[in-house]
């Protein structure tokens, strides 16, 4: 009876070891973590803008705040950028408008230029110069 319980524990430990080894191989097999995408966000309006990256239908994440008349580099985490299509949204401090880019393709490690217009009604989106 005793050898049966030892054998059962040995199997459980073996399964735990295989699970951990599999997880280590899965994460290590992809190499290093991919770099974030960079948004060079220019706020040409007179309102402060809280900037969000949105994965359609699943996630809404704040990536930074840009005060009026400033340009800031904002990072889109690689776990969001690898999803491919995102929407960039600006919530303005003193207005009800919520300008957005609409669906855009973003890749990890790439740089993009986003501009909030002076009337604060629209965002333009272009690849940035390297």
d(CA 96, CA 93): 8
Burial degree of 31 (CB within 10 A; 0-12, 13-18, 19+): exposed
20: left (phi over 0), alpha (psi -120 to 50) or beta: alpha
Q: How far is CA 13 from CA 16, 21, 22, 107, in A?
A: 5, 12, 14, 40
Give residue-wise pLDDT tens across range 76-127.
Answer: 999 999 988 999 999 998 888 899 999 999 999 999 999 999 999 999 999 9
Say what the pLDDT of residue 130 is. 67
pTM above 0.95, yes or no: no
């Amino acid at each position: 009876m005793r050898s049966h319980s030892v054998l059962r524990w040995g199997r459980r430990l073996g399964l735990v070891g295989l699970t951990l080894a599999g997880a280590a191989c899965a994460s290590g097999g992809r190499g290093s973590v991919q770099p974030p995408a960079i948004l060079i966000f220019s706020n040409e309006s007179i309102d402060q803008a809280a900037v969000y990256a949105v994965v359609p239908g699943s996630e809404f994440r704040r990536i930074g705040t840009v005060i009026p008349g400033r340009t800031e580099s904002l990072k889109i985490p690689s776990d969001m950028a690898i999803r491919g299509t995102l929407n960039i949204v600006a919530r303005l401090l003193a207005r009800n408008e919520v300008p957005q880019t609409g669906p855009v393709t973003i890749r990890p490690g790439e740089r993009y230029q986003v501009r909030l217009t002076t009337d604060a009604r629209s965002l333009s989106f272009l690849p940035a110069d390297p």
